[in-house]
Amino acid sequence: MSEVAVLTRHLYKSYGKGKTKLEVLKDLDMTVTRGTIYGLLGPSGCGKTTLLRCIVGRLQVDSGNIIVLGNRPGARGHEVPGSLVGYMPQEIALFNKMTIEETLSYFGRIHRMSRSKRKSRMEFLLQFLTLPEADRLVENLSGGQKRRVSLAVALLQEPELLILDEPTVGVDPILRERIWEHLLRITRQLNSRTAIIITTHYIEEARQADKVGLMRNGRLLAEDAPNNLMNLYKEDSLETIFLKLCHADQNTYNLDPKGENQKPKKPTMKMVNSAHDPAGETTPLLQQDWEDIDAFVQTPQQKCHCLFGLPSPRNIFAQFLKNITFMKRNIGFLLFQFILPSIQIILFCVCIGNAPYGLKMAIVNNETQGLGQLFIRELDNETIDKVIYKDMNAALDSVRHGETWGVIGIGQNFTQDLFQRFTNISGVDNQTLDGSSVQLYLDTTNQQITLQLQETITSSFQAFSEILLKTFNLNPNLGQLPIKVNDPIYGSKDPNFRNFIAPGIILSITFFMATGLTTLSFVIEKKEGLLDRSLTAGVSAFEILLAHVFTQLFVLIVQVTLVMVFALAVFEVPYKGPLIWVILLVLGQGFCGMTLGVIFSAVCEEESSAIQLALGSVYPMLILSGIIWPLEAIPEWLRYVSICLPQTYAAEAMRCVLSRGWTLLDMPVWRGYLVNTAWSFGLLALAGIILKIKS
Ligand SMILES: Nc1ncnc2c1ncn2[C@@H]1O[C@H](COP(=O)(O)OP(=O)(O)OP(=O)(O)O)[C@@H](O)[C@H]1O
């Protein structure tokens, strides 16, 4: 029984759901023996790759049983996926920015090979597969050379099960022959326990296999030694036999227009080396019917019910080294990552929070002589660019035409009415009050400009009235509003919007940079099949995630340091508290961002990029609402959604540390840290779970 390397029974696998459901494997039975080569043949799209991915444990079957090397793929402690299996996928799936040596070392580490073993295997494979120098970058190799490196990766640890998906495509005939020679040598060795499954489009090439499985529409039409099949069908070409079987299979379907055969029933007859006449044969020709699949499980432990095993430091280290190599080779991109958040914070500080200046205002002074002129002189020249008009209508037209932001009008009797207003307090009428007022006609479409103009004109009037009061030997403070603003308890007398929003912006920049970069690197790895290859080699999704976090942490620290230098030193955002707590908060945000990035890239396949779009657009809105505007000004239902996000708490905590100089004993700061940390680890766990489920 231990001679069986791979056994599949009643295997069903489909992609999609509902109307788009595509049944790829249908009641597939397959038996691969140790020490043999199994050629899996079939037309494009018949399900070969799907079957191989189920065998290596990268795809879950819908129903049916698979036993690989004595246990179910993915069973706890069973190294399938892992070192027991060498898998060469159809796509190249290699790290372009790594050299051949680095690639083989990376997989060698994952397979726990010693340095000397790695070296000797590498030397052998380089020579055997006629690979170029080991220090050549994969991206600079030809297509055929890349395929050979991919094959070298599969052969590296001398696995007990070698699965090669079209290894000879794009390989010259001489090398193809050598590859077959090598595969035959592996299986022909005395007491060889290595089984090889190979798919190929070159059907005749598979004659050298010990057994071939002819596959069509997700089923095996026949499974036997090539010679047996040729004797049985009295043909000397596998291709002709395959065509015959396909035609026979096609006829079965044609005879069954209602599609009752769409789900083929388990064949009742198993024919091996029988003298059965194949003419008109329509039932799959299979070798044996082993119903008691559990008899092939060598270890009682079957399915792994745990979500995570303990992460292996070795695998994390291998991933970490790989990530570092990537960074080294993409130094331009790395520098760009370093400075991008700084560019963002510089632009933010330069553009946001400054007072508007040079605002064009139309001035109409209807007085020929008097105090009107004095008031106009007192208007702040930096904020207001005065454009003098003689006629009120022309001045109002200038606002209507967008040439000025408003009109400041002084009436004919301004000086006289002003004296009346101050000296005859008990008898002053509304007309006099009106005449002594500066008339404003504003374009209020821009709130910031309107507020700035109102504030400038009000303070200019106070300065003007102080001069006036002094002239009459009166206390100049009489002109002030009877409200005295004392020194603030926290913050400055002149609070500015930039300082208020800076903590939130710093956190958001860090958060979204980390999300974006993580999504990018994971999506690239996934798209190129690298993630899949690492997972098949036995690295867990959680180990990949942890290694990424460690590498990205380095980038994050540089980013955060630069951002802090610009925000606090160059643009002088005030800070009182211990800087280390601020830095910890920002790093926490980066960590959150990273984990969200992993979730994005794990959840969002192309078809579900709508989710990515939705999350990516709604989430920032919630964050911004929580950090740009005071929570007290947000509708209550949204307020609670916003404050559930760690950015809001973190921004609050950061503002406290920066401007109040509070210590960790303060409630808002504690809350900030706690929520931030809980959220980060919550997301990390979620990312791990999603990756695990997805993989
Ligand atoms: N992730 C997927 N989602 C939906 N359909 C898929 C997916 N992967 C494969 N398929 C479909 O399943 C069918 C079998 O694909 P598979 O890759 O297993 O075929 P194959 O026999 O290996 O083909 P080839 O020889 O061309 O590589 C194809 O119709 C393919 O389009």
Instruction: Give the mean pLDDT of 107-128.
Output: 93
Instruction: Give the mean pLDDT of 564-568.
Output: 91
pLDDT of residue 638: 78
Instruction: Give the mean pLDDT of 482-510.
Output: 86
User: 140 C-alpha to center of ligand 1: Å?
Assistant: 29
pLDDT of residue 204: 78
- Give nearest CA residue, ligand 1 atom 13: 45
Most confident among 16-30, 185-199, 444-458, 476-490 (mean pLDDT): 444-458
User: 76 C-alpha to center of ligand 1: Å?
Assistant: 28
- Give nearest CA residue, ligand 1 atom 28: 45
Ligand 1 atom index nearest CA of 90 = 27
Residues with CB under 6 Å of ligand 1 are 15-16, 22, 24, 42, 44-50, 90
Model confidence pLDDT, tens digit, residues 262-300: 444 433 333 333 333 343 333 333 444 445 555 555 554
Which band of pLDDT confidence, cut at 50, 70 and 90, is reported for residue 254?
low
Q: Which of 206-215, 263-272, 575-584 has the lowest mean pLDDT?
A: 263-272
State the ipTM, two decimals.
0.97
8 Å CB contact between 383 and 356:
yes
Would the pLDDT of 670 be above 80?
no
DSSP string for 74-128: T-TT--TTTTTEEEE-SS----TTSBHHHHHHHHHHHTT--HHHHHHHHHHHHHH
Provide φ and ψ at 441, rounded to 5°.
Answer: -125, 110
Higher pLDDT, 582 or 258: 582
- Give nearest CA residue, ligand 1 atom 10: 15
User: 418 C-alpha to center of ligand 1: Å?
Assistant: 88
Model confidence pLDDT, tens digit, residues 336-362: 999 999 999 999 999 988 889 999 999
- Give nearest CA residue, ligand 1 atom 18: 47
8 Å CB contact between 207 and 238:
yes
Tell me the C-alpha distance between 149 and 5, whole Å: 25
Q: Please, what's the largest Cα pairwise distance for the chain?
A: 129
- Give nearest CA residue, ligand 1 atom 6: 15
User: 45 C-alpha to center of ligand 1: Å?
Assistant: 5
Going from N- to C-terminal start, the domains of the chain cover 4-84+159-290, 95-156, 315-348+500-694, 359-479
- Give nearest CA residue, ligand 1 atom 27: 44
Model confidence pLDDT, tens digit, residues 417-426: 988 887 877 8
Q: What is the pTM of this model?
A: 0.74
The second-level CATH assignment, the architecture, of 359-479 is 3-Layer(aba) Sandwich (3.40)
pLDDT of residue 275: 35
- Supply the CATH classification number for the domain 4-84+159-290: 3.40.50.300
Average pLDDT, the chain: 83
Mutate to test the pocket of ligand 1, among 11, 49, 53, 197 (most ligand atoms within 8 A of CB): 49
